[in-house]
Amino acid sequence: MSLKVLKFGGTSVGSAEALRRAAAIVHQELPAGGLVVVSAMRGTTDGILEACAAAGRGDLDSAQSMLSAIQTRHHEVASELGHLEAVRAPWEALFARLDQFLTGMAMLGEGTPRARDGALAVGETLSAHLAAQCFGGAFHEVRDVMKTDARFGKARPLPSAIRAAAAPWREALGRGALWVTQGFLGTSPEGITTTLGRGGSDTSATLLGEALDAEEVQIWTDVDGVLTADPSLVPGARPIPQMSLGEAEALSAFGAKVLHADSLAPGGRAGFRLVVANTHRPDASRTVILPVPPARSEGAVTSVAYKEGIYLLRFPATAGLEPPMEAARSLEEAGALRFGLISSPAGTLLAVRPETHAATEVLGTLTASGIDCEPGWAVIALVGEGLRADPVAALRHLAALGHEPIGGLLTGSSTVSIAFLVPEARLGDLIPRLHRHCVDGAPASPDQMI
Ligand code: ASP
Ligand code: MG
């Protein structure tokens, strides 16, 4: 019995029309049963977070009016689909629960990460109940199986505990059941609700795929699979029909937004196919991420990714390695992404993207202590299995940049990518040029060659 897990994100369950489209896809993809994972309707998670923030400030009135806006929108969608009566009972209990969480937060004057996770769970659970009605499946509670640690707000999954808990799911789904469950949520060892971090429902789907021995996990979103570049900079960017897990990992680490970086590890362990497809064009282009790399010609680059908002910290050679290592550690602990630590006799460069308020504060402290910290950088990555066989190709591709100021080559990140720093302001010009040269294969003009 080959099992498939399908995941629909917030936009794909965000309106009556989107849910009808999703239902058609479910019927086409899962004629003999399977598992569907859904996240909260678009805007709901943000709305609940805002309500928690208001409640934490003691402003219960605002928090409750945000709650009633969420409630109204859900009721509208459910009644447009003719399912309001079917979901009314579970929904009433969920809205009452959210109200209790907000009241508690307002009373205490704070919303702890643990309480916030409890409140956020309502969003996913509301949409899973409605999706179950739309898809003709049975709702099952993901918190029965998604075991995590107790790091509220960004809990780490416990794959072997998930696998053990999922035994009854494997059996029922193996017999052809169609089940619908929530993304994003888990339970701590003490049985308290956790969340996997924003955008975590892709990871829920792949973790469940692993635990259920699925053959395929499909992530349904609103773009045509994974593209060769950001289409806002490269209008001619194309979907990549097949890619390796290594390419997907490099792409999500270096900026592609389609797949959550954490969602790829389960596929690496379990070896299922991971598919990214567009709900608006179910039969058109999709990307299949394969456990075994597809054939690529030597030196070929399949995509160009970038991430902006990078800060470059420079440590003098005389400082030695300890201060930059220590800075990297405290920045990462505060939630910053690190893109490289480059050490040479001339000194050490550290490239980071703060990501969180806490990391921005650490950056401020470092600057105040006299560390040279320069904003305005971006990291560009050329990604392709072909670079594994011909790593020097990456240098040839880089030569196409001519005399561009490059802030440093970031080595060692992956064998299927090469990444380097450039001034952020140059992205609009460099990304299309690199795409033309490396992905489309057009030769660089002679003045751009070294
Ligand atoms: N609803 C959650 C969020 O908005 C999880 C997800 O969408 O993947 O972050
Ligand atoms: Mg989402």
Classify the C-alpha dihedral 313-319-324-330 as positive or negative.
negative
Spatial neighbors of 448 by CB under 8 A, at least 6 apart, are 399, 400, 401, 402
Going by pLDDT thresholds of 50, 70 and 90, the confidence category of residue 442 is: low
Among the listed ranges 162-176, 327-341, 402-416, which one has the minimum average pLDDT value?
A: 402-416
Going by pLDDT thresholds of 50, 70 and 90, the confidence category of residue 160 is: very high
Paired tokens of 328: 């990297």
User: Which residues sit with Cβ closer than 5 angstroms to ligand 2, an ion?
Assistant: 9-10, 39
Per-position DSSP letters for 348-417, written without gaps between them? EEEEEE--SHHHHHHHHHHHHTT-EEEEEEEEEEEE-THHHH-THHHHHHHHTTTT----EEE-SS-TTE
Residue from 7, 12, 39 whose mutation best tests the ligand 1 pocket (most atoms within 8 A of CB): 39
Q: Is the pLDDT of residue 197 over 90?
A: yes
Amino acid at 78: A
Quick check: pTM over 0.85?
Answer: yes
Bigger pLDDT: 445 vs 145: 145
From CA 145, how far away is CA 183, in angstroms rounded?
12
Write down all domains in the chain, each with its CATH number in brackets: 4-221 (3.40.1160.10), 303-448 (3.30.2130.10)
Q: Residues enclosing ligand 1, CB less than 6 A?
A: 9-10, 39-40, 45, 183-184, 198-201
pLDDT tens digits for range 326-362: 999 999 999 899 888 888 888 899 999 998 899 999 9
The residue contributing the CA closest to ligand 1 atom 6 is 199
Give whole-number Cα distances, 323 to 57, 367, 371, 375, 410, in Å: 38, 13, 10, 20, 19
- What average pLDDT does this structure show over 387-409? 78
Distance 42 CA to ligand 1 centre (A): 8
Phi and psi at residue 42, in whole multiples of 5°?
-45, 130
Going by pLDDT thresholds of 50, 70 and 90, the confidence category of residue 283 is: confident
pLDDT tens digits for range 86-141: 999 999 999 999 999 999 999 999 999 999 999 999 999 999 999 999 999 999 99
pLDDT tens digits for range 38-84: 999 999 999 999 999 999 999 999 999 999 999 999 999 999 999 99
Paired tokens of 149: 């640690």
- pLDDT recorded at residue 309: 95
Q: Is the pLDDT of residue 407 over 80?
A: no
Paired tokens of 223: 């773009």
Distance 38 CA to ligand 1 centre (A): 9
From CA 222, how far away is CA 42, in angstroms rounded?
12
Phi and psi at residue 105, in whole multiples of 5°?
-65, -40
